[in-house]
Structure 1
């Protein structure tokens, strides 16, 4: 009898073993999917090849989002539809909304064991956090400034290096360009409208809002953090919209057509490198992106053509003397990722000191971690060393769930003034009405 039970037990073990083998076979090889944008191609492609070499049994599915495609919109739609890849690029301002929606996997357990994490600047750790958890690792950061085309300044007789002290200096320089170099299409270019998406909010509106009034009491912000409300009406918002009125309506320093072409980013860059813009509000990355990489001039030639100056405040009492704002892109793990541990292995391989330092220098991006500045390619880049000084003046967006909606209303408000002809007061009233309708009167100040 005992022998019979031994035989039965052996058969059961064999069956269970076969089932296990079948299940393993059915599961197939490990898979990891990654989405990244074309501007980061030179960073991701070598890392992907290194990952393949180190983990040959992992099947990689890679999606590159090309230039001209709104990656925030694409990834947002993918996440909502449940088809997003395991690893996704995250514009840092979207972290609170995506985290609250349950789209992002918290990384704190990995970060606690990762020695490199302590190298990240405190601000670069804070920007990826929401409700006490970290949801991404910053790839790059940036600042914003005034770019200017030196040959146009020479024709207009504007001294260089240009050092505007307030908004009047900026407007006056643009008016001089309009008078002395009339063939320039946009003496002063500032992003406007919804086609730019977040570009209008950050490169345009925030860069005047922050300099429009004192930062005390969140007077120059979109959110009153102490009260926990969105700001629907303020002197700073009025002054920022009035700046748009002066540029687009009163002085006609910027045409509206470039803000409605299919690729507004590409058009702005083309206009700048072809001498159609005198002064333009833009980001630090443009040092290497005003030209396609195939025709990017050497540094020596670029320095003869392109200059930059910090954006001054309005000059009003209490307003900052220098204004800039930082954002940047990060890498996160989809909360629905098949294997978060495997995804983190790609993070460890991508985010090395040398790889990041060399790519940041190549791309003209600002470092997010302290040790990267020790990498020779970065340390020897005079532009990056100089522009890094603006980080002393920087701040971040009012990112809180609902921010992307507020940002869209901001973009509409700039077009209300620049295109629709509303006064700043009328545009601000419409802006506030939209906030109240979206969030409720109790969530909007004043």
Structure 2
């Protein structure tokens, strides 16, 4: 039934794409069209020039017949949409460009990228984790896209948070292909047991429920004392990692607000408000939600892509509670980048822009892994908003905090996680733990080894 619904939805998108996007893009397009087809082509051209045609890439390709290599890390359902729907339509519109899509394992992928580039066997285009873009840009491995056809118009229609993950040292080195964030997944069973009719809107409301908890019940399921899982709670309570320019951590990560945020988290864990999965204990977040052990957990849209309909019926998605700084979350996702070493940049850019089109972005939102579009007009469309839970995640994105866009992010993340864990396990105080890492983060942000 799900496949049938997806097919109907994609058929509608395809019809729009055929009407507005085909015919004029390929080198071998038919120039002897009827007057009606000519009017349609003219309308498509006008829309493309106005920056409003999102059914295709909007870019002509008159180059040689080429095959571009595209690396990605899509999951099974996402890859199915890419291979069976998106690439065939692209190659139909651009018969001179062929796409060799290669699914790569995430573990060890960064090293594999570096090795392949050194040996000249790297891809032309890649969908990669947003945290790697600054590092590879600093290495000179990525091609800047600021001056490429269509970028300026597209840029104005992208969510700022995901777009910013491609920015490094004054230039953009990619496109935000899809985005995600953590929102709240709430246990219907526990809400009923706590006799609450609606999802709490603030952390004060959540904590006030503490005295109603039964045996083996907790209010918050946070899946780790680290810089990703803890980020929504830490930031909502007023904590920050750096200044707004991402150039300094001292006075920010160890500020009064940040220390208080971490102290509050430690206190809530000690009091049983935050459950045992925080430090690797049982129950895990998913089963705890299903069985009524946790009120809510921080989860991404991928939580709802499994086929366990019986258990998924026991939970509902909602915005995260607001703390001192608001209802904040962490921004994740993948970016599209072209490699400087590629000799097929023109064709790669055409495919990159097609992946940002209405056809492709809607296909991956409606099917696949319910990926959240980064193009605002597409994310706000009726078809995307109708995807279960999508509207909540898109609304939650308004409070998304991007991970520090630095080539040294992974080292920064490791140091943050060590500090958080040492405080949670009472190996150090919150103040001392954050004071210790502040100068180390300063050095990393300045490009110095630490």
Extract unaligned runs of 5+ from structure 1. Answer: 1-27, 194-199, 214-219, 314-318
Residue of 162, 169, 173 corresponding to 2:199: 162
| Aligned equivalent of 2:234 | 209
- Whole-Å separation in 2 of the counterparts to 1:311 and 1:295: 26
- Whole-Å separation in 2 of the counterparts to 1:329 and 1:226: 22
Matched residue SS, 2:220: strand
Q: Residues 169-188 of structure 1 correspond to what in structure 2 (within 5 A)?
A: 169-173=205-209, 175-176=210-211, 179-180=213-214, 182-184=215-217, 187-188=219-220
Counterpart check, 1:308 vs 2:308: no
- The 1:435–1:118 alpha-carbon spacing in structure 2 relative to 1, beyond 3 Å, is closer
Counterpart check, 1:239 vs 2:260: yes
Q: Residues 40-439 of structure 1 correspond to what in structure 2 (within 5 A)?
A: 40-45=78-83, 46-52=85-91, 60-65=99-104, 69-70=106-107, 73-79=108-114, 82=117, 84-112=122-150, 116-157=154-195, 159-166=196-203, 168-173=204-209, 175-176=210-211, 179-180=213-214, 182-184=215-217, 187-193=219-225, 200-204=226-230, 206-213=231-238, 220-225=239-244, 228-231=247-250, 232-251=253-272, 253-256=274-277, 259=280, 268-269=285-286, 271-273=288-290, 275-283=292-300, 285-286=301-302, 288-289=304-305, 292=306, 294-296=307-309, 302=312, 305-313=315-323, 319-362=324-367, 363-373=369-379, 375-381=381-387, 383-419=389-425, 421-432=427-438, 434-435=440-441
Q: Confirm or deny: 8 A CA contact 1:150 1:307 kept in the other structure.
A: no
- The 1:268–1:38 alpha-carbon spacing in structure 2 relative to 1, beyond 3 Å, is farther
Extract unaligned runs of 5+ from structure 2. Answer: 1-63
TM-score, normalised on structure 2?
0.71
Q: Shift of the alpha carbon at 1:327?
A: 3.3
Q: Which has the larger radius of gyration?
A: 1
Q: Confirm or deny: 8 A CA contact 2:223 2:277 kept in the other structure.
A: no
- Whole-Å separation in 1 of the counterparts to 2:272 and 2:285: 20
- The 1:321–1:224 alpha-carbon spacing in structure 2 relative to 1, beyond 3 Å, is closer
Q: Shift of the alpha carbon at 1:410?
A: 0.9
Q: How many residue pairs were aligned? A: 378
- Whole-Å separation in 1 of the counterparts to 2:154 and 2:298: 34
- Whole-Å separation in 1 of the counterparts to 2:162 and 2:273: 39
Instruction: Report the structure, 1 or 2, having the larger helix content.
Output: 1
Q: Shift of the alpha carbon at 1:364?
A: 3.8
RMSD after superposition: 3.7
TM-score, normalised on structure 1?
0.71
| Aligned equivalent of 1:36 | 72
